[in-house]
Chain A
Amino acid sequence: METFINPKSLFHLLLLPCLLLYSSIAYNSSPVEAAMHTNNWAVLVCTSRFWFNYRHMANTLSLYRTVKRLGIPDERIILMLADDMACNTRNKYPAQVFNNENHRLNLYGDNVEVDYRGYEVTVENFLRVLTGRHETAVPRSKRLLSDEGSHILLYMTGHGGDEFLKFQDSEELQSHDLADAVKQMKEKHRFKELLIMVDTCQAATLFNQSPGVLAIGSSMKGENSYSHHLDSDVGVSVVDRFTYYTLAFFERLNIYDNASLSSLFSSYNPSLLMSTAYYRKDLYKRRLEEVPVTNFFGSVMETIHTDAAYKALSRRNSGRFEDEMSLDQSVHHIKRRMLIKVNDGDEIHDINPEGEEGASKCPWSTFRKKFQKAENVDSLLNYGLVAMIPLLVISTWLVQ
């Protein structure tokens, strides 16, 4: 029995891989399977300059107002306006923007926070916002700090054509640029779900390159998107048809409504729009009837009730989330709760998984794959416990 000098250490040696295996499964499965909708972001872009494009700014500001009303806070809205119509010298109502000729609603009130304005609205900056590749000097308010639990609404309006959208009358965003940016976002876990809404001529062509998300455009290929009406007082068209009817849909809603995306999409009447609204959902997993519009246009998410969440929180997860705490308090509050639920009852997970993951991956990869197929973590836990019993028996026998 000279070989078994330290039977206890052997026991640990055997036990450790099992635990590591388990922990790695638990860790990896959480973003893919169990990441929950935890927060909402909106990127609203008006891409065109010049006074006669007043309506594009009005479109964007109206959408801004709507999503804000439905609960997305200002710090999670990136508002990009390519020109300043409110202070244009031609504006009959200085510092005011209207989207209706009745002038009842000033869209450019005191609480509008424009993140990118004027010549800052470029294709480069837009793609940087989406992909998160900013220079270090860019302030947090100008960044899209979304994560794998984010639902993002990307609204764009301007002048477009076949597979492009014009920015600033000087450059273009092409459909493959957009598709590439979305792909990068996906790789970087920058969103859970993304809705792209575009109001331009031939908007549908912008999704030709398959960004792999839910997308809706105001018009098909070869169609124009038209303005809704002219404000003869201001002297320009003030809103586009597609946006006008989108807003009309949302004006009826409040934050508690359960209207689904399909009801929004079917609300577009081609004869009123004078173009055919086109949406592609082939790469979207959920059924549109079950998705409330507030999932994108508002900030309403599922709340999870947990027992004694706060009691264990500070002790268990303080080390793990230390570096992420600085990001966004409320987001991670929810996220943390979710992870706790997954790991509930297993104290072992307090050890640092990031460090050991690499070591465990190689020898146990085949094993892990098999286990990944398991449907939920609870069953995995049971399997693990069962697998431990023979090991325990053998080890105690060896010790004796």
Chain B
Amino acid sequence: MAETKEKSLSDEKPKPRVRPIVRLGIFLISHSFHVSVVCCTAGVLALFLLPVLAKNTYISENALMPGSASPMLSNQHVSDGNRLVKDLTNPNSKSSETGIESHKIIAQYMLDLGAEVSFHKFHPQMNQFHPLHFFSSPDSGKIQENYSCSSYGINTVGIIRAPHGDGKEAIVLVTPYNALKSGFGEALSLGIAYSVFSLLTQVTWLAKDIIWLVADSQYGEYAAVAAWLREYQTPKFSSLSTPNAEMCPDVNNLFELKGHSISGSKFSNSFRRAGTMASALVLKVRDQNEQFEDTISIYAEASNGQMPNLDLINVVNYLAVHRQGLRVNVEKLWSLLNSSWLKSLGEIFESLAKVAKSLYPKWKFGIPATEYVEGTATLASSLYYQALGVPTGPHGAFRDYQVDAITLEISPKFSLDKVWRNDILLRGGRLIEGVIRSVNNLLEKFHQSFFLYLLTSPSKFVSVGVYMIAFALLIAPLPMVAASLYVDANSSSNCSKGDSSTPSAITDTDEHSIAIRSWRWLNSAKLVFIVHLWGAIVSLLPYFISQIPDCSPTTSFMIWVLLSILSLLTLNSVLASPLACAKATQEKEWALVKSVTISSVFIGLGLMSVINFATAEIGALLMVPMCLLAQPLKLDVRAGTLRSFCRMICNLVLGHIAFPPAAFFLLKGMLDGFGNANVGDFWMWVESLWAWNSATYLFIVEVTYIFSHG
């Protein structure tokens, strides 16, 4: 960016020889309009081509060897699991108010297997927005001031030590369980986990310890897992913070297990740890299912678009499809599946591929239209969830500690038949066993395969090298347009100066004025900075608004809007007043303002693509056309031609679409129908975003309202 600017500057003085790269730069800048049209179209087209360019996944880590060992899970283990399911669904166990009984049952079962058992008590942390904690590491839990004995959760943790292992590594198996209102699915997931656990206590081949975490999900699955992980990863050495939970009387009852006397040595009151986590699996069973076959859904997106290593997904996919005969799903945007324009686009690509193949038989890139539509729907949801930055399940908590984790949700075709139940226990258990055995073979962390990828189906992915092309094409016009605008602004003022001044002007003052002119962009930069500052203030406001007690979403949204406008006016009066008078004199300044804005947007998007690609991509889709088309309304109105009128309309529409609340409503309207859209929803949505310290939130502030300068 800066380079192109310099190039254009140096170009002003005619030189005998210009290097080809400089000449190319000048050419691109002078034709920036055509270049930007071509690049943007190509960028959007490349995005739609991604499902076609997706590659098949492959297991890249040699050590994993999924499915090389035959499963050892037998019917004996399945009947063990069944026993637990029966005990948990037994109405007697639900008599207790806090659900402690069922935790005791689970702990007793674990103890009977010879595992180390401990309870972990936690207080659910309210999701709080910490504007300054975006990039800080997850901190050791701040002690909540206002906890009470009534609101705590209990995680039951069982640990199997590897018989020959060194205890340096561990694999975590998580089953969310709400003791108070557990469905049959949750009990079944515990049954599967238990049958695997009972097998793993017997095997000799474990190299990593196994941790089974029964996460108490009455305050949310994520909160329970996050609390346990925080405790696990950041040990507290001070004695001040620990006894807060133990002070409650009925928590202590928990320790009076009936098995306490039998195998007391295995049970401990303190927090138990195993080694570094190699990976984690979250297992869920869905209660009801519309599918006609047993499917398994994989959820992988963690906070801020981070993904687990692709190998983990590959292993699960391979074992589920080729060993257990389960169908594997990844999240899709279902609304896209039926869209006709996508289908026709897919057909176009298919026919194009056929033509290409007939021309040259080695070109095989076409995929069937239906596959294309599915791939696009999956890709869109992959992009959406990555851009949103909200984890799609409890596995997100692991990613914050650089542990690869995914959530597996088994949705069996439902029937209450006992044979069916045994079958799902067996297959689910064998799948988990296979994944654990495969991960157990690992020698290092997952590192071979991709971390930056988008899925288009469970067995197809687009890697970073491919999808960055679309993004790069999309933002490529920005520096060129900025440079050409800058050059135009400078040269036009030069011309006007040249006309007015006599040729015999003193060179001293001329150089001086050139120096002043070349720094004139600082004025525009100041303006842009003020707008960004305002954006930052607006984005910080919700934190203070959320401190106001008893506020409905709608009112808090209103407060937010009012405060935002107020802050804009204040800023304008305090900082921009000298600028305002300058603006009156120099109406042509807008080109410079636009140039600086585009540069800042370019830098911002470039940086964002490193942090979270999906956010940057979606942001670029919205902001690049807006930046390129932006033009002061006054000028358009004054020109009065058809072309400028069209441009004005485009600007107004784009400007409103890209304004986040508007964008949100449009999306929501498209997906759910406009009827139930509500201002409060936006507030909720934003609230959910801070909860995850989402980078998206940072991004929203990037809205720069050029029109205000018109």
- B443 & A50 in contact (Cβ 8 Å cutoff): yes
Q: Judge if A233 is at the interface, Cβ distance under 8 Å.
A: yes
- Given A51-B443, A91-B205, the answer on whether A235 and B69 have CB atoms closer than 8 Å is yes
Q: Judge if B206 is at the interface, Cβ distance under 8 Å.
A: yes
Within the assembled complex, what's the spacing in Å between the Cα atoms of A390 and B339? 118
- Given A50-B443, A230-B68, the answer on whether A235 and B206 have CB atoms closer than 8 Å is no
Which chain A residue lies CB-closest to B63?
A52
Which chain B residue lies CB-closest to A53?
B62
| The 9 nearest A-B residue pairs measured at CB | A235-B69, A89-B207, A232-B70, A89-B164, A92-B205, A89-B165, A90-B207, A235-B68, A52-B63
- A232 & B203 in contact (Cβ 8 Å cutoff): no
Which B109-163 residues have a C-beta within 8 angstroms of A? Answer: 162-163
Contact of A50 among B63, B164, B437, B440 (CB under 8 A): B63
- B162 & A89 in contact (Cβ 8 Å cutoff): yes
B575 to chain A, nearest CB (A): 61
Q: Judge if A234 is at the interface, Cβ distance under 8 Å.
A: yes
Q: Judge if A236 is at the interface, Cβ distance under 8 Å.
A: yes
- A235 & B437 in contact (Cβ 8 Å cutoff): yes
Which chain A residue lies CB-closest to B438?
A235
Within the assembled complex, what's the spacing in Å between the Cα atoms of A353 and B70? 70
Contact of A90 among B62, B70, B440 (CB under 8 A): B440
Which chain A residue lies CB-closest to B165?
A89
Within the assembled complex, what's the spacing in Å between the Cα atoms of A84 and B428? 34
B207: which A residues are within 8 A, CB to CB? 88-90
Q: Judge if A384 is at the interface, Cβ distance under 8 Å.
A: no
Q: List 29 A-B contacts (CB under 8 A).
A: A50-B63, A50-B443, A51-B441, A51-B443, A52-B63, A87-B164, A89-B162, A89-B165, A89-B166, A89-B205, A90-B440, A91-B164, A91-B204, A91-B205, A92-B204, A92-B205, A93-B204, A94-B164, A94-B204, A230-B68, A232-B69, A232-B70, A233-B69, A234-B69, A235-B65, A235-B68, A235-B437, A236-B68, A237-B68
- Given A233-B69, A234-B69, A235-B437, the answer on whether A92 and B63 have CB atoms closer than 8 Å is no
Within the assembled complex, what's the spacing in Å between the Cα atoms of A233 and B440? 15
- Given A89-B206, A89-B207, A90-B205, the answer on whether A233 and B162 have CB atoms closer than 8 Å is no
5 more contacts with CB within 8 A, not counting A89-B205, A91-B204, A230-B68, are A52-B65, A89-B163, A91-B205, A232-B70, A234-B69
**A contact face: mostly helix, strand, loop, or mixed:** loop
- A52 & B204 in contact (Cβ 8 Å cutoff): no
Within the assembled complex, what's the spacing in Å between the Cα atoms of A236 and B440? 13
B68: which A residues are within 8 A, CB to CB? 230, 232, 235-237
Within the assembled complex, what's the spacing in Å between the Cα atoms of A203 and B69? 29
- A90 & B441 in contact (Cβ 8 Å cutoff): yes
A94: which B residues are within 8 A, CB to CB? 164, 204
B201 to chain A, nearest CB (A): 15
Within the assembled complex, what's the spacing in Å between the Cα atoms of A90 and B165? 8
B642 to chain A, nearest CB (A): 66
Which chain B residue lies CB-closest to A234?
B69
Of B69, B204, B440, chain A has the most CB atoms within 10 Å of the CB of B69
Which chain A residue lies CB-closest to B61?
A52
Within the assembled complex, what's the spacing in Å between the Cα atoms of A18 and B225? 97
Which B56-71 residues have a C-beta within 8 angstroms of A? Answer: 62-63, 65, 68-70
Within the assembled complex, what's the spacing in Å between the Cα atoms of A93 and B164? 11
- A52 & B62 in contact (Cβ 8 Å cutoff): yes
B556 to chain A, nearest CB (A): 56
- B441 & A52 in contact (Cβ 8 Å cutoff): yes
B443: which A residues are within 8 A, CB to CB? 50-51
B441: which A residues are within 8 A, CB to CB? 51-52, 90, 235
Per-position 1/0 for A291-305, Cβ under 8 A of B: 000000000000000
B204: which A residues are within 8 A, CB to CB? 91-94
Contact of B203 among A51, A88, A92 (CB under 8 A): A92
- A51 & B63 in contact (Cβ 8 Å cutoff): yes
Which chain A residue lies CB-closest to B71?
A232
Within the assembled complex, what's the spacing in Å between the Cα atoms of A267 and B203? 41
A87: which B residues are within 8 A, CB to CB? 164
- Given A51-B441, A92-B204, the answer on whether A236 and B65 have CB atoms closer than 8 Å is yes
B300 to chain A, nearest CB (A): 25
Per-position 1/0 for A201-236, Cβ under 8 A of B: 000000000000000000000000000001011111
B174 to chain A, nearest CB (A): 23
Which chain A residue lies CB-closest to B69?
A235
Of B62, B162, B165, B166, chain A has the most CB atoms within 10 Å of the CB of B62
Within the assembled complex, what's the spacing in Å between the Cα atoms of A191 and B197? 57
B62: which A residues are within 8 A, CB to CB? 50, 52
B69: which A residues are within 8 A, CB to CB? 232-235
A177 to chain B, nearest CB (A): 25
Of B65, B165, B206, B437, chain A has the most CB atoms within 10 Å of the CB of B65
Which B205-256 residues have a C-beta within 8 angstroms of A? Answer: 205-207
Which chain B residue lies CB-closest to A237?
B68
- B63 & A235 in contact (Cβ 8 Å cutoff): no
B591 to chain A, nearest CB (A): 59
A81 to chain B, nearest CB (A): 17
Within the assembled complex, what's the spacing in Å between the Cα atoms of A50 and B166? 16
Which B65-113 residues have a C-beta within 8 angstroms of A? Answer: 65, 68-70
Which chain B residue lies CB-closest to A49?
B443
B206: which A residues are within 8 A, CB to CB? 89
Per-position 1/0 for A87-129, Cβ under 8 A of B: 1111111100000000000000000000000000000000000
Within the assembled complex, what's the spacing in Å between the Cα atoms of A87 and B164? 9
A89: which B residues are within 8 A, CB to CB? 162-166, 205-207
Within the assembled complex, what's the spacing in Å between the Cα atoms of A230 and B440? 18
Within the assembled complex, what's the spacing in Å between the Cα atoms of A232 and B163? 21
B208 to chain A, nearest CB (A): 9
Per-position 1/0 for B517-536, Cβ under 8 A of A: 00000000000000000000
B70: which A residues are within 8 A, CB to CB? 232-233
Which A232-271 residues have a C-beta within 8 angstroms of B? Answer: 232-237
B440: which A residues are within 8 A, CB to CB? 90
B65: which A residues are within 8 A, CB to CB? 52, 235-236
Within the assembled complex, what's the spacing in Å between the Cα atoms of A88 and B441? 11
Of B163, B205, B206, B441, chain A has the most CB atoms within 10 Å of the CB of B205
Within the assembled complex, what's the spacing in Å between the Cα atoms of A236 and B70? 11
Which chain A residue lies CB-closest to B62?
A52
A237: which B residues are within 8 A, CB to CB? 68
A87 to chain B, nearest CB (A): 8
Which chain B residue lies CB-closest to A50?
B443
Which chain A residue lies CB-closest to B204?
A92
Within the assembled complex, what's the spacing in Å between the Cα atoms of A108 and B443? 23
A92 to chain B, nearest CB (A): 5
Within the assembled complex, what's the spacing in Å between the Cα atoms of A232 and B205? 13
Within the assembled complex, what's the spacing in Å between the Cα atoms of A269 and B74? 40
Within the assembled complex, what's the spacing in Å between the Cα atoms of A93 and B693? 48
A390 to chain B, nearest CB (A): 80
Within the assembled complex, what's the spacing in Å between the Cα atoms of A90 and B203? 10
Within the assembled complex, what's the spacing in Å between the Cα atoms of A52 and B438? 11
A234: which B residues are within 8 A, CB to CB? 69
Within the assembled complex, what's the spacing in Å between the Cα atoms of A91 and B437? 12
Per-position 1/0 for B162-174, Cβ under 8 A of A: 1111100000000
Within the assembled complex, what's the spacing in Å between the Cα atoms of A91 and B204? 7
B388 to chain A, nearest CB (A): 38
Which chain A residue lies CB-closest to B440?
A90
Within the assembled complex, what's the spacing in Å between the Cα atoms of A390 and B166? 86
B202 to chain A, nearest CB (A): 11
B165 to chain A, nearest CB (A): 5
A96 to chain B, nearest CB (A): 11
Within the assembled complex, what's the spacing in Å between the Cα atoms of A330 and B147? 85
Which A289-334 residues have a C-beta within 8 angstroms of B? Answer: none
B431 to chain A, nearest CB (A): 16
Within the assembled complex, what's the spacing in Å between the Cα atoms of A211 and B565? 85
B683 to chain A, nearest CB (A): 53
Within the assembled complex, what's the spacing in Å between the Cα atoms of A93 and B203? 10
Per-position 1/0 for B534-576, Cβ under 8 A of A: 0000000000000000000000000000000000000000000
B171 to chain A, nearest CB (A): 13
